Structure 1
Amino acid sequence: MRDWLQVVRGSAPLIISLPHTGTDIPPDIESQLASPWLARKDADWWVEQLYAFAENLGATLVRTAISRTVIDVNRDPSGASLYPGQATTELCPTTTFDGEPLYRDGGPDAAEIDHRRTTYFEPYHAALRSEIERLRAVHPTVVLYEAHSIRSRVPRLFEGELPQFNLGTNSGQSCADALTVAVEAACDASGLSRVTNGRFKGGWTTRHYGQPATGVHAIQMELACRGYMDDPAEPPTPDTWPTPFHAARAEPLRAVLEEVLGACLDFANTA
């Protein structure tokens, strides 16, 4: 197993993908970047800590320690946009979510992108496929849960403040309605804001692997960071972002996420 690719195997019919929690950048790539801070600004900060309880549920966790600036393993490997006509970032991002240039000289060329795809993207998805196949061999139904977070306010990507819970099911195509309804109910019982298939409909992983007819149901959860860390309303700076994981603030959100993952397991075990 590669040292940047972490797989924790469980026996329950639930896989949690953590594609954006990494901050590692190889030195030869970091030397090309405009700023080490900018290159890590858009990480899904502390999400691996937030979901640490999932191992006790028997879930399988797949995580890359590599920064999304190197390659975004939740983008279409062909380079096609997931959100045509809307602001987004590429397979190998050249800007931050706020539109700031990541590279001093434009960014990686086609050969470099292909190298990163082979080195990082393909092994990550080989691991996901392997875990899906392993669990499908013993469970008729498996849920693939994409765990994400983002700052509550990113004006270039969306207006105003993002809801606390943002579910993506590729507009209902990546999982059964019953799973969506169960996860929505768990979120709504908290009294916190929630939207389904709003600005975030699910990335490439959700769209690619979510094939309900084959027993694989995929759903993406994009959390607003304010639920578990200080999330300043003003544009972030190296002095204000990222803020530390806030355990006391996170506890109510973690309790909701336990209900969410419980709903995923209940669905998988009874579908």
Structure 2
Amino acid sequence: MPHTHPWLDITRGNAPLILSIPHAGTDIPDDIAPTLADPWLARKDADWHVSALYAFAADLGATIIRTRLSRTVIDVNRPPDGASLYPGQATTDLCPLTSFDGEPLYRPGQEPDAAELARRRALYHTPYHAALVTEIARLREQHPRVVLYDCHSIRSRVPRLFDGDLPHFNIGTNSGASCAPALQAAVERACDVTQFSRVSNGRFKGGYITRHYGQPANGVHGVQMELACRGYLAEPAWPLDATNWPPAFDPTYAAPMVSALTRILTICRDWALEGDRT
């Protein structure tokens, strides 16, 4: 799809399946980099190697939308007004000021002000969502229902955000509001026959993308999948630093997770295709 945003990658397919990859990017624009406290810290909380993990999705006919930008630049999975998705719980903002572990991301006095927030919103947040709107509309013209699958991962242990080890599969459907119950149940069954643990609508119920676009009554079914990194990466022991994080992507280590995700996405696609026949 032609566009003028070098940081935005769009792969078009014709199956009723869209993958959104909002947090796997690591690029930081030259005008923002000098304001940051540390380049490694600014990339620490990326959804590492998620694009490689889901590389098979294009062969399923999926449309894939991803940003190359670090979530430190702007988090396209947050509401444009910056409202908290998890009131009362620790979370990160539209333009995060701290890492998941509470470390300051910016040099003192260099944090983005209101004007800078507005600039980044216009440059990066708005185009990402315009792409989602365009691709949803295109596929809804072809299919009665479309699955929007939002791809995420996070370290297995982040004490500031949750207790203990996160389950491998964390399905978020905004407590059942963003997709049909039958689709959620099908994804849960696909997870439960694997070697991996699973929870639905636990600590992660779906971000802005899932909650905003998941409108089952309008034929758009949103599912967020948050993966604990240990399911596909050899996570190092603490402390984390630039010498051990992130681990390299090892296709052999990741193979069981890739197999499970292939089955999950195939089920999502085929469930949506059933709508073509009804």
Same fold (TM over 0.5): yes
SS of the aligned residue for 1:222 comes to strand
Whether the aligned pair in 1 keeps the contact of 2:196 and 2:231 (CA below 8 Å) is no
CA contact (8 A) 1:34 1:101 kept: yes
Distance 1:182 1:269 in 2: 14
**Residue identity opposite 1:67 in structure 2:** S
| 2:105 is aligned with 1:97 | no
Superposition deviation, residue 191 in structure 1: 2.9
Q: Is the 8 A contact 2:169 2:226 kept in 1?
A: yes
Can you give the 5+ residue segments of structure 1 that lack an aligned partner in the other structure? none
- In the alignment, what sits opposite 1:205? 209
* Alpha-carbon distance between aligned partners in 2 of 1:117 and 1:260, rounded to the nearest angstrom: 33
- Letter of the structure 2 residue corresponding to residue 51 of structure 1: Y
Aligned to 1:140: 144
2:115 aligned partner: 111
Task: Percent identity, please.
Answer: 65
Q: 1:35 aligns with which of 31, 34, 38?
A: 38
How much has 1:105 moved relative to structure 2?
Answer: 2.1
Aligned equivalent of 1:222: 226
Q: Distance in 1 between matches of 2:107 and 2:134?
A: 38
Question: Per the alignment, in what secondary structure is the counterpart of residue 35 of structure 2?
Answer: coil
Contact preservation (8 Å) 1:153, 1:233: no
Q: Say what the alpha-carbon RMSD is for the aligned residues.
A: 0.8
Does residue 56 of the first structure (1) align with residue 41 of the second (2)?
A: no
**2:170 equivalent to 1:162:** no
1:8 is the counterpart of 2:42: no
1:254 aligns with 2:252: no
Matching residue of 1:196 = 200
Unaligned runs of 5+ in 2: none
SS at match of 1:128: helix
Partner Cα separation in structure 2 for residue 98 and residue 31 of structure 1: 22
SS in 2 for 1:16: strand
**Is contact 2:36–2:42 with CA below 8 Å preserved after alignment?**
yes
| Residue in structure 1 matched with residue 239 of structure 2 by the alignment | 235
Match of 1:124 among 104, 122, 128: 128
Q: CA deviation at 1:270?
A: 1.3
The CA deviation at 1:254 is 0.4
What secondary structure, in the 3-state scheme, does the structure 1 residue paired with 2:189 have?
helix
Letter in 2 for 1:38: L
Q: Secondary structure at the match of 2:36?
A: coil
Cα offset for 1:116? 0.1
What amino acid is the match of 1:29? I
| CA positional deviation for 1:269 | 1.0
TM score, norm. by length of structure 2 = 0.96
